[in-house]
Amino acid sequence: MSKNCLNVFERDDCLKKLANEPVDLLVIGGGITGAGIALDAASRGIKVAMVEKADFSSGTSSRSTKLIHGGLRYLKQLEFSVVKETGKERAIAYRNAPYLVHPEKLILPIQKKGSLGWYSTSFALWVYDFLAGVSKRDRKKMISKSEMLKLLPQFKSNELIGAGLYSEYRSDDSRLTIEIIKKAVSFGALAFNYLEGLDFIYQDKLVSGIVAKDHIRKQELEISAKCVVNAAGPWVDEIRKTNASIGKKRLVLSKGVHLVINKDKLHLSHAVYFEAKDKRMIFAIPREGKIYFGTTDTVYSGNINTPKTSKKDALYLLECMNDAFEGINLKLSDVVSSWAGLRPLIHEEGKSSSEISRKDEIFISSNGLFSIAGGKLTAYRSMAKRVVDLVNKKRNLSNKKCQTSSIILSKSKVDINNIKTIKNQLFKDYKISKNDLEYLWTRYGMESKKILDKKHVNPNPKIALVINEFDYCLEQESVWSLLDFFRLRNARVYFYPESISGLIAPIAEHAKQKLQWTEEKKQKEIDALNVFLKEAITFE
């Protein structure tokens, strides 16, 4: 029986295989773009490996607005092709992972002094629905001021005319990424986190692999490949510099910030996409007893590895919310968590970061390195298809066509129309709270049963459930640290930060036993998690 490279206890054997057997395609970058490429290639029968220097999705792919959306604002920039493509892709994402991609109605307020007019908004939403191929039942609806205030009673009404109501999809970006990676592995791909490419290997002046460092075992290995694709997001240019292939086209990084507050600070039962005083569009989205809102769009030139939410960023977003909603008076002390992410955009002379196209582009260096930059989370699948199609054209790795539009991410198919029945059955079978069931379902889908079926190793049922979840992630999702577990596998640091204090000690002790940590290593893991939690609410 073949080993699972995402099982931490089988990783070493899989790494030996990678070092000893050349692959057809090596992907650098374990975000959603790299994951999509790995799945597309593996499902076509290509022998593929993917390496990520940190944890999967630890960069941009865990720091988005967590929407699978068509990009309504791109209509303003007349980017009809982007809207059409992402509209199509969000429908595919929902069909293939309904436990991770959830329909979300968004309210788009129209105000007297705003840049959105009633008729222009109605027309724009009609075009949006048309381009995105939205089903009849989910198409836009224009609602009156009174109708909108029934849905959003705290929204300031003095300048309000009415609103548009339209459909998007909410997801968990890091969960979506890991599920794509798991599916790629099920097709034979090898995928490793904490495996960093240090340098390229060349044969006849063409890239033929990389020298990589395994940060888990602190050792180096060489990986041979017929073709290498650089899909490292904000780090794309860093890798191109290593390859001496930066060229005229380069990235500009834009920082986007989101803040999280408790739901008792604002009674928001519907997601809203409103225009701030400076004409920037802001999302405010309820999720799991919290509300998160953003985003900013500012050129970033700091450390790529550690983008942070500044005090200026936080105050700006709080001001936007306070201006839009009656009597909430949000302050920095109300923020329970935050995240800052970097958008890797392709530089366009004379344009601000908010004006730059979100279209992706593929570069091929003279020494054979393929690099992809730009693009949107929603379009990951179509971006991957373009990359693998081009690689096949240039390297002739497979004659099979893309299959990912019909690949279901879960191990067992979930009928969109039957989700409620499935969840009710799980609730009856396992007798857990509806909150716990919803938490598991929206992260693991049908795989929740594997977590629930595990034996309890702690007398406290709440702690036992999280230990079982941690063990599942050890065996199926290559989790190596407390922070990766609480941030990238289940997003507790963002949406359940208050729960973590009671979980740190038992989970850390369990991890110590499982991963053979020293007491010093265990304490470092606890400290790293606590530092992250503090930084998420500390703004300088």
> Residue 430 falls within a domain, yes or no?
yes
Block residue for tokens 């490279």: 5
If asked whether residues 256 and 243 sit together in one domain, one would say no
Helix-strand-coil split of the chain, %, nearest 5: 45, 25, 35
- What is the C-alpha to C-alpha distance for residues 515 and 511, in angstroms, rounded to an integer? 6
Same domain, 483 and 523: yes
> Looking at the structure, do residues 302 and 438 belong to the same domain, yes or no?
no
Confirm if 38 and 181 have CB atoms less than 8 A apart.
Answer: yes
- Are 332 and 260 within one domain? yes
Beta carbons of 114 and 275 less than 8 angstroms apart? yes
Does residue 351 belong to any structural domain of this protein?
no
Strand partners, 251: 346
Q: Based on the domain organization, do 142 and 265 belong to the same domain?
A: yes
Last-in-domain residue among 295, 320, 346: 346
Q: Per residue of the chain (540 residues), what is the pLDDT tens digit?
A: 689 999 999 999 999 999 999 999 999 999 999 999 999 999 999 999 999 999 999 999 999 999 987 666 666 666 677 777 877 888 899 889 988 998 889 999 999 988 888 998 898 888 878 877 777 888 889 999 999 999 999 999 998 999 999 988 899 999 999 999 999 999 999 999 999 999 999 999 999 999 999 999 999 999 999 999 999 999 999 999 998 888 778 899 999 999 999 999 999 999 999 999 898 999 999 999 999 999 999 999 999 999 999 999 999 999 999 999 999 999 999 999 999 999 998 875 655 556 555 678 999 999 999 999 988 899 999 999 999 999 999 999 999 999 999 999 987 667 777 888 888 888 889 989 999 999 999 999 999 999 999 988 889 999 999 999 999 999 999 999 999 999 999 999 999 999 999 999 999 999 999 999 999 999 999 999 999 999 999 999
Domain membership flag for residue 78: no
Report the CATH number that the domain containing residue 478 is assigned in CATH. 1.10.8.870
Chain Cα centroid distance, residue 503: 24
CATH of the domain at 329: 3.30.9.10
Answer yes or no: do 149 and 256 share one domain: yes
Residues 298 and 326 both lie in one domain: yes
Residues 149 and 267 in one domain: yes
- Is 88 inside a domain boundary? no
Phi and psi, residue 354, nearest 5°: -75, -20
Residue 33 inside a domain? The answer is yes
Residues 381 and 441 reside in one and the same domain: no
| CB atoms near residue 453 (< 10 Å) | 11
Phi, psi of 109 (to 5 degrees): -65, 145
What DSSP line would sit under 302-366, residue for residue?
S-TT-----HHHHHHHHHHHHHHBTT----GGGEEEEEEEEEEEE--TT--TTTS----EEEE-T
Which domain covers residue 526, as residue numbers?
416-535
Number of folded domains that form the chain: 3
- Is the previous residue joined to 295 through a cis bond, with omega within 30 degrees of 0? yes
Q: Which residue(s) pair with 293 in the sheet?
A: 259, 284
Q: Are 219 and 267 within one domain?
A: no
- Tell whether 89 is covered by a domain: no
- Asked whether residue 87 is assigned to any structural domain, the reply reads no
Q: What are phi and psi of 409, to 5 degrees?
A: -75, -35
Alpha carbon of residue 96 to chain centroid: 16
- Is the same domain home to 333 and 244? no
| 423 in the same domain as 335 | no
Q: What are phi and psi of 197, to 5 degrees?
A: -75, 125
What is the chain's length? Answer: 540
Question: Is residue 140, in this structure, part of any structural domain at all?
Answer: yes
